[in-house]
Amino acid sequence: MTIAQPKPIVRDLYAELVALPAHMTGQIINGVLHSHPRPATEHGIAATELSAELNNPFRRGRGGPGGWVFIVEEELHLGDDVVVPDISGWRAGRLPSKKDTSYSTVPPDWICEVASPSTRRLDRLEKLPIYARSGISHCWYVDPIDRTLEVFILADGTYKLGPTFTDNAPVSAPPFDSHTFDLGVLWWLPGDATT
């Protein structure tokens, strides 16, 4: 006589992700739901300034070639993984202009992660291999505390470290090397904003 074993409880991780409070960001990485609070001011400023720096020349074609679409904190469904890079960029024509979902399934051509103490290890150790598997050709890591920008370039299925920039260095890096900007515009300094 065979005794039937109970079926394992299957958790719907995406339903849990959607149910997170509005002040939390959720990602499903390698079958695990990770949640963390929204980022600090320095993080938000760095992401906003970088997005603004790239948008005119690469989205609108003002002082650059145009031909890109950028989205801040877009939820990406890459196979079984659900990730939220700080900025995602697609070459024009690759991202559908209209979609029925609040997420994208088309891997971007470029992503940027801005380091936070709560997500630094996750971004580098767990998300970078997901981006490589998905064929995302360029990955930038910005650290507003150390004031660095590291450029990773996909080659033969793995990322190789390309140029690294620090402090206020002029940045010209793939895939946006036709435009140069001062890295210092990403760093928030006390006294920058009036209260």
Q: Are 163 and 178 in contact (CB under 8 A)?
A: no
DSSP code for 109: S
Prediction pTM value: 0.86
> What pLDDT score does 72 carry?
94
Taking the chain, what is the end-to-end CA distance rounded to the nearest angstrom? 76
pLDDT higher than threshold 90 for residue 73:
yes
> Among candidates 77, 176, 90, 69, which has minimal Cα distance to 130?
77
Q: Are 14 and 26 in contact (CB under 8 A)?
A: no
Fold of 39-186: tt1808, chain A (3.90.1570)
144-191: pLDDT as tens digits? 999 999 999 999 999 999 999 999 999 999 999 999 999 999 997 666
pLDDT higher than threshold 70 for residue 2:
no
Average pLDDT, the chain: 89
> What pLDDT score does 113 carry?
97
Q: What is the share, in percent, of the chain residues with pLDDT greater than 70?
A: 91
Q: Are 95 and 109 in contact (CB under 8 A)?
A: no
> What pLDDT score does 191 carry?
62
DSSP code for 105: -
Asked whether the CA dihedral 113, 116, 119, 125 is positive or negative, the reply is: positive
pLDDT higher than threshold 50 for residue 10:
no
Higher pLDDT, 13 or 51: 51
